[in-house]
Amino acid sequence: MAPTNEQIAELFENMGSLLEMKGDTIFKIRAYQRAARIIEQLSSPLAQAVENGEDLTKIPGVGKAISEKITEFIGTGQVAAYQRLLEELPTGVLDLKDIPGIGPKTAVAIGVELGISTVEGVAEAAADGRLAGLPRMGQKAADRILRHIEAFQAIGSRTPIGQALPIAEEVIAALRKQCPEIGPLFPAGSLRRWEETIGDIDLIGTAPDPEAVGDALVALPMVKDVLVHGPKKTSVVVESGMQIDLRIGEPGTFGALLQYFTGSQQHNIRLRDYANRKGLLLNEYGIINTETGKVEEFADEEGFYARLGLPWMPPELRTGVYELDAGLADSLPRLIQATDLKGDLHLHSEWSDGNDPIELMIEATEAQGYEYMALTDHSASLGVANGLTNERLESQISLLRSMQKNYDITILCGSECDIRANGDMDYPDEILAQLDWVVASVHSAMGQDQATMTARIIKAMEHPSVTIIGHLTTRLLGQREPVEFDLEAVLQAARNTGTALEINASPERLDLKDTHAYRARELGVPLVINTDSHHHTHLDKRRFGVAVARRAWCRPEDILNTMSREEFLEVIRTPKPERLSVFDRRRNGTVSE
């Protein structure tokens, strides 16, 4: 079979990594990485294009050399240049690079100096001191790598939501195509509650002939294994290794079925105890009156909750902690929705490590229906990300100011400016003062101890030009542990200095995470949902950030970028920390919609 676009993209991604290990030029490394990301996003198969004799160099990011490699890969199943690179480096070194906390250079050192080629081997070497003995490594870095490996193992067989949700959507679309008579069909379980990792995918729906839907599921091409195929439940494993549990009921019983399998288990237990005290029993088919023995059925969840004297509860709140009491007191919040957002304020272009020209990023952001945006390319010290020098940033600022007349959307000149190890900003004050919006982020010296890191972040927040801290903990789900710092002290400092905190919607990050955002909201810290897009198609990832905000009980007025353009500009034009009063005015008053 001809290689798929994903396989071709992976090959170029690997080539980039291998060149990085060899210490090749950043220009060449980036060319491969960029090609990989573009190929991944193409809507039609490259194999088809090659067969039709199309000119591949018409694809952005694909030059003559890369085009030849694609043709070679599709024609022969191999790329000679890639094989040569693999032979030059120790075996297994590519896998080592995927270990959290290990960059290409370290991977090579581990392979060459220690002769190690597996994750388990690295964990052992980290524990027994051999890793610490490597040049430029040391005990602290080795301990950190061990913790990253543990984070990786802790996520275990769970799948980050960013991977699980598209799988569920693909299966739902395929089932609908096979069985057009299906009524509602939704993800339930942890996916409907938008947990950050998903154990298995639960799909709940109704159809006139429920068994036909189970038959259709087991026959789908992406299904690899069938675990259960019965009249009430069908369980399969799809290609990616995820399990899918499907339950289809009669239309009249859908409410109870969906409610039961949405969980969480803790929510259901609390609800069941509450119902028992009213003389009612709950199960997946309905509510049973213990005196009469009668089973009441519900077509929707609203009816189910209403029968218990409760308002409908958003699945994101169903953790079994606060939502039942809030429901009884009729004090559930009106949660933010994706359509409440009016801007995206963390976007990269090809000026640093993004894929797309500025124009494309602006057009894509405008197409989301937004009123404002900030372009925030990296600052200079992030060499691998092609960070902007003072001069390049100043010319980007004047370019953006001159482009504004062509667009309705308000374009803010921004930067994602590194917070240096000592808490200083990566640009001089007079440059930062020219910017409308400064995202300050930690990208280096992530192994600092708690006291140092806390002081570093707080120092950044005290800078008058720093609008917001980006991805506060720097964690990567299942790949990189968060940095160590005093969360409460940092959240308090955010409030005191009038510095906003980002909910980074990129599903690898989800940073702030739900519980951190919950506490930040309680303290009155302005929150901003950003996608950190490096490609114009990434803007859709906002839904993952909105989910974090909803799990943190955020209303629109807790989120800064739900403000109208006028109100938002008033906030950022007011100096810190006085700008909080503009935020508080809306937060404590009634929202104008």
Binding site for ligand DGT (CB under 6 A): 189-190, 195, 198-200, 202, 260-261, 263-265, 268-269
Smallest gap from residue 334 Cβ to ligand DGT (A): 24
The reply on whether position 284 binds Ca ion by CB under 5 A is no
Which of 24, 113, 124, 200 lies at the binding interface for Ca ion (CB under 5 A)? 200
Which residues, in sequence order, are CB contacts of 439 under 8 Å at separation 6+? 345, 346, 374, 376, 414, 415, 416, 417, 467, 468, 469, 470, 502, 530
Exposure pattern of 191-208 as b/e (b: 16+ CB <10 Å)?
bbbbbbbbbbbbbbbbbe
Least separation, in Å, of the C-beta of 298 and ligand DGT? 16
Task: List the single partner that 416 binds among ligand DGT, Zn ion, Ca ion, none, CB under 5 to 8 Å by kind.
Answer: Zn ion
SS3 10: helix
Task: Report which of 12, 3, 5, 6 is spatially closest to residue 85, judged by C-alpha positions.
Answer: 12
Q: Which of 13, 196, 245, 323 lies at the binding interface for Ca ion (CB under 5 A)? A: 245
Number of residue whose CB is nearest ligand DGT: 263
- In one letter, which amino acid is 383? G
The rounded distance, in Å, linking the Cα atoms of 212 and 42 is 34
Q: How far is CA 443 from the centre of its chain?
A: 17
CA-closest candidate to residue 319, choices 209, 424, 134, 192: 192
Is the CB of 20 or the CB of 245 nearer to Ca ion?
245
Count CB-CB contacts under 10 A for residue 80.
10
Query: 264 touches which of Ca ion, Zn ion, ligand DGT, none (CB within 5 to 8 A by kind)?
Result: ligand DGT
CB 560 within 8 A of CB 341: no
Strands 500-504 and 527-530: parallel
Nearer to ligand DGT, 202 or 416 (CB): 202
Q: In terms of CB distance, is 307 or 318 closer to ligand DGT?
A: 318
Nearer CB in complex with ligand DGT: 92/199: 199
CB of residue 275 vs Ca ion: minimum separation in angstroms? 23
β-partners of residue 418 are 441
Q: Rounded to the nearest whole angstrom, what is the least distance from the CB of residue 471 to Zn ion in the complex?
A: 7
* Least distance CB 437 / ligand DGT (angstroms): 37
β-pair partners for 415: 438
Provide the strand spans (E) within 179-316: 185-187, 197-198, 201-206, 223-229, 234-238, 243-249, 280-283, 286-289, 295-296
Measured from each CB, the residue nearest to Ca ion is: 189
Q: Which of Ca ion, Zn ion, ligand DGT, none interacts with 532 (beta carbon under 5 to 8 A by kind)?
A: Zn ion
The smaller minimum CB distance to ligand DGT, of residues 261 and 372, is found at 261
Stretch that binds Ca ion, among 102-110, 244-252, 370-378, 498-506 (CB under 5 A): 244-252
Instruction: Map tokens 């996003």 to a residue.
Output: 41
The nearer residue to Zn ion, 245 or 416, going by C-beta atoms, is 416
Q: Which does 265 bind (CB under 5 to 8 A by kind): ligand DGT, Zn ion, Ca ion, none?
A: ligand DGT
Given ligand DGT, Ca ion, Zn ion, none, residue 514, with its beta carbon under 5 to 8 Å by kind, binds: none
Binding-residue pattern over the window 159 to 198 for Ca ion, x denoting contact by CB under 5 A: ------------------------------xx--------
The position carrying tokens 């339930």 is 188
User: Radius of gyration (Cα) for the chain, nearest Å?
Assistant: 26
Tokens of 163: 């991977």
Question: How many chain residues interact with Ca ion (CB under 5 A)?
Answer: 5
Q: Which does 562 bind (CB under 5 to 8 A by kind): Zn ion, ligand DGT, Ca ion, none?
A: none
Q: Which is nearer to ligand DGT, 240 or 339 (CB)?
A: 240
Residue from 195, 202, 316, 340 touching Ca ion (CB under 5 A): that is: 202
With respect to Zn ion, which residue has the nearer C-beta, 261 or 351?
351
Binding site residues, Ca ion, CB under 5 A: 189-190, 200, 202, 245
